[in-house]
């Protein structure tokens, strides 16, 4: 259980903060990437990532506790478990894709960035927020949040970086 500072001193806790409290660890997103890919068993993940076993135990425990993955038996005699994504965990897919896309586009060793494409039609996917009724990409400045009951988070605007 990697505890953060009990109260991040001045910033009110925003969505990013809460998200990072769950997955903002050096290993956690890599573990989740493996689980997304179908690498679900302790030893598989451990071998694939090269993570220390005690850390993997710890991170998987946190993820289970957070409800991102669940520990289900995949065989009896001997009973063995695997870790599966919950609904909450599957909901991370867009974020993981966006991070992957960014790494491809901006951190590739060879110069050429790769693209994500839609298998069926070969269209390049941008992963921009896309408005289904206006049918075009939505700039970060045109996005706001609609809180359930009176809460809002700080605006994140790329154009504020002018």
Instruction: Tell me which residues in 60-99 interact with DNA (CB under 7 A).
Output: 60, 71, 77-82
C-alpha 137/C-alpha 66 separation (Å) is 32
Report, in Å, the least distance between residue 87 CB and a copy of itself.
9
61 vs 154, beta carbon nearer a copy of itself? 154
> Considering the rule CB under 8 A, would residue 53 count as an interface residue with a copy of itself?
no
Contact between 41 and 31 under an 8 Å Cβ cutoff? The reply is no
Q: Does 71 bind a copy of itself (CB under 8 A)?
A: no
Q: Please say which residue, 41 or 153, places its beta carbon nearer to DNA.
A: 41
Among 48, 56, 58, 81, binds a copy of itself (CB under 8 A): 48
Among residues 46, 45, 140, 39, the alpha carbon closest in space to that of 85 is found at 39
| From 1, 3, 37, 75, residue interacting with a copy of itself (rule: CB under 8 A) | 37
Q: Which stretch binds a copy of itself (CB under 8 A): 54-62, 73-81, 96-104?
A: 96-104
Best CA proximity match to 29, nearest among 95, 86, 87:
95
DSSP label of 161: G
Nearest to 56 by CA among 27, 19, 22, 89: 27
Out of DNA, a copy of itself, none, what residue 49 binds, judged by CB under 5 to 8 A for its kind, is a copy of itself
Assess contact for 127 and 116: CB atoms under 8 A: yes
Query: Is residue 21 close enough to count as binding DNA by CB under 7 A?
Result: no
């Amino acid at each position: 259980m990697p505890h953060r500072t009990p109260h991040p001193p001045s910033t009110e806790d925003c969505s990013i903060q809460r998200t990072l409290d769950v997955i903002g660890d050096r290993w956690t997103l890599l573990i989740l990437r493996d689980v997304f890919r179908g690498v679900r068993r302790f030893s598989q993940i451990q071998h694939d990532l090269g993570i220390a076993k005690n850390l993997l135990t710890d991170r998987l425990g946190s993820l289970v506790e957070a409800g991102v993955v669940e520990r289900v038996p995949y065989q009896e005699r001997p009973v063995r478990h695997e870790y599966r994504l919950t609904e909450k965990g599957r909901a991370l897919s867009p974020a993981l894709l966006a991070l992957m896309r960014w790494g491809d586009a901006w951190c590739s060793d060879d110069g050429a960035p790769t693209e994500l494409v839609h298998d069926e039609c070969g269209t390049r996917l941008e992963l921009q927020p896309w408005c289904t009724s206006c049918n075009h990409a939505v700039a970060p400045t045109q996005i706001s949040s609609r809180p359930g009951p009176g809460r809002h988070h700080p605006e994140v605007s790329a154009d504020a970086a002018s």
